[in-house]
Amino acid sequence: MQDLIAQIKAFNRERDWEQYHSPKNLAMALSVEVAELLEVFLWLTDEESRHLPPARKQATEEEIGDVTILLLALAEELGVDVLEAARKKLQRNREKYPLEKSRGRAEKYNELK
Amino acid sequence: MQDLIAQIKAFNRERDWEQYHSPKNLAMALSVEVAELLEVFLWLTDEESRHLPPARKQATEEEIGDVTILLLALAEELGVDVLEAARKKLQRNREKYPLEKSRGRAEKYNELK
Amino acid sequence: MQDLIAQIKAFNRERDWEQYHSPKNLAMALSVEVAELLEVFLWLTDEESRHLPPARKQATEEEIGDVTILLLALAEELGVDVLEAARKKLQRNREKYPLEKSRGRAEKYNELK
Amino acid sequence: MQDLIAQIKAFNRERDWEQYHSPKNLAMALSVEVAELLEVFLWLTDEESRHLPPARKQATEEEIGDVTILLLALAEELGVDVLEAARKKLQRNREKYPLEKSRGRAEKYNELK
């Protein structure tokens, strides 16, 4: 991952694109890419989304590539380690969604009784 | 990262949440989380987004944690390796945005002359 | 609708918020609100989304209110008439999706054979 | 607007697309279209977004057309009147953002002191 982050930074620096890459703009770009990923699943049933035909499968991989690049670029700009941030959040989620209350239920934590 | 992915899977399996986690639903959840990250930057100038006060900085870290968890869960469900997908896409971007044409310009590749 | 647009403009002018309301920022805010609307449907099946319990139904109405306000504010800022824009687009869609090719099929127009 | 809503319904009924148009799917489609609108502003400064060149201006009108069509289709499916929902929300916003506290300030209501 460190190597990939270094490559992303070099890619942007060589094109003199850092001037555009404020966290605000990178977050906007990340939203746009995530919507392109979402579009691959548009009008499919849940079940169909679990069994994508090859062209759609390939499209998800490309869009996940874009999303990952932008997420790493944004996190780097903010000085955030994505894996560490995910680990902390997972720990918080363990507290917000205790096993006995949340098993088999899709409610948000503040709707759990 | 492998360890984090294993933890995410265990978290969801223990709560019997895999039934909800079709790729379509995970892509929707990823969109929702990315919008929460985007919201942190709402109404800020580009410059302000580069110098966030501590509470907003902390909020970005939490939202990046959520985005990372959902991106890894979705990629795992689809059998996609996020780092490999990003590397491939970066290589494709090098071809779409050659240095001499794209330096210092923000246009999309199909608008570059 | 003209009256509503006038009320939205007065609301923003009285709070001296026009300074923040560049089209870019309004489009970001619109994205954030649409994601809150999307969140109401998260983890539901298609069928469940057609029969929402009252609290969720109420939530969709509030989020649709926010989305409408922001859409009208953005369109006003850009000098676009939303109804006219929708009518033109609907006409274009009639050409892109001819009846005989698109009936009962969810593919995007460029995937229709 | 009533006429436009009737046209949208006829367009979808003629193509037998109502089967795909659960509120969940329409909300997803709305997100995708809003992201395409957001993309028009990507990498622009706030100031540039206030003075779009003609091609981008045209693009915003088309995307606003798509967003309006989907918003009306979703609201119709849910039995929500968009103008009424916006009016109610604007009234609520007047209470959440009293003039003396919110003038010239971009904070969210729960951050206003």
Chain B residues with a Cβ under 8 Å from any Cβ in chain D? 28, 31, 42-46, 106
| CA distance to partner chain D, nearest, from residue B8 (Å) | 25
Distance CA C25, CA C56 (A): 28
Nearest CA in chain C to A105: C43
Q: Is the pLDDT reported for residue D61 higher than 70?
A: yes
**Model confidence over A6-50: pLDDT tens digits?**
999 999 999 999 999 999 999 999 999 999 999 999 999 999 999
- pLDDT score of D53 more than 70: yes
Which among A20, A32, A41 has the least Cβ separation from residue D35? A32
Give the model confidence (pLDDT) of D7-38 as tens digits: 999 999 999 999 999 999 999 999 999 999 99
A106 and C45 within 8 Å at the Cβ level: the answer is no
Look at B28 and C20 and tell me if their CB atoms are within 8 Å: no
Contact B12, A99 (CB under 8 A): no
Residue A107 has pLDDT above 90, yes or no: no
Query: Which positions in chain D touch C20 (Cβ < 8 Å)?
Result: 106
Q: Do the Cβ atoms of D63 and A76 come closer than 8 Å?
A: no
Each residue's pLDDT tens digit, C21-52: 999 999 999 999 999 999 999 999 999 999 99
Q: What is the pLDDT of residues C56-107, one digit of tens each?
A: 999 999 999 999 999 999 999 999 999 999 999 999 999 999 998 889 888 8
Mean pLDDT confidence for A90-112: 88
Q: How far apart are CA D77 and CA D31, in angstroms?
A: 16
Three-state DSSP class for residue D11: helix
At D109 the pLDDT is: 76
Q: Do D106 and B28 touch (CB under 8 A)?
A: no
CA–CA gap between residue D48 and residue D26 (Å, rounded) = 32
Please name the residues in contact with B89: beta carbons below 8 A apart, sequence gap of 6 or more. Answer: A62, A65, A66, A68, A69
Cβ contact B46–D45 (<8 Å): yes
Q: Cα(A65)–Cα(A85) distance, rounded to whole angstroms? A: 20
Dihedrals φ, ψ of B103, to 5°? -60, 125
Given this model, what pLDDT does residue C113 score?
61
User: Which among A28, A31, A43 is the nearest to C106, CB-wise?
Assistant: A43
Structure tokens at B10: 């265990």
Q: What is the mean pLDDT of chain A?
A: 95
Q: Is residue D107 scored above 90 in pLDDT? A: no
Q: C15 and D71: CB-CB below 8 Å?
A: no
Rounded Cα gap, residues B80 and B73, in angstroms = 10
Q: Which stretches of chain D sit within 8 Å of chain B by CB?
A: 28, 31, 42-46, 106
D69 interaction partners in chain C (CB closer than 8 Å) = 86, 89-90, 93
Distance from B109 to chain A by nearest Cα, in Å?
13
Most D-contacting residue of A34, A39, A40, A45 (CB-CB within 10 A), to test interface: A39
Indicate the residue of C20, C29, C38 with minimum beta-carbon distance to B32. Answer: C38
User: CB–CB of A28 and D41 under 8 A?
Assistant: yes
Q: Residue A30 has what pLDDT?
A: 98
pLDDT of residue D108: 82
- Indicate the residue of C4, C15, C31 with minimum beta-carbon distance to D38: C31
- Is the pLDDT at D110 greater than 80, yes or no? no
Write down the pLDDT at residue D91. Answer: 97
Nearest to A89, CA basis, from B70, B19, C41, D111:
B70
Distances (CA, A) of B11 to A90, B20, B78, B80: 8, 13, 18, 20
Q: What is the pLDDT of residue A113?
A: 60
Q: What is the mean pLDDT of residues A69-75?
A: 98
Residue D109 tokens, joined: 């209501």
- Packing angle between helix D23-40 and helix C23-40, nearest 10 degrees? 160
Which chain C positions have a beta carbon within 8 Å of D16's beta carbon? 103-104
Q: How far apart are CA D93 and CA D103, in angstroms?
A: 13
| Selection from C106, C104, C50 nearest residue D77 by Cα | C50
Q: What stretches of chain A show up as alpha helix (H) in DSSP? A: 2-14, 23-40, 46-50, 54-78, 82-96, 99-102
Looking at per-residue confidence, does D109 or C20 come out higher?
Answer: C20
Q: Which residue has the tokens 């944690």?
A: B65
Residues in contact with B6: Cβ distance below 8 Å, sequence separation at least 6, in sequence order: none
- Burial level of D31, CB count in 10 A (0-12/13-18/19+)? buried
pLDDT at D106 over 90: no
Nearest to D41 by CA among C26, B111, B52, B102: C26
Q: What is the pLDDT of residues B47-90, one digit of tens each?
A: 999 999 999 999 999 999 999 999 999 999 999 999 999 999 99
Give the gap in angstroms from C-alpha D109 to the nearest C-alpha of chain C.
Answer: 13
Contact C92, D61 (CB under 8 A): no
* Residues of D with Cβ-Cβ distance to C94 under 8 angstroms: 11
pLDDT interval class at D113 (50, 70, 90): low
Q: Are B77 and B24 in contact (CB under 8 A)?
A: no
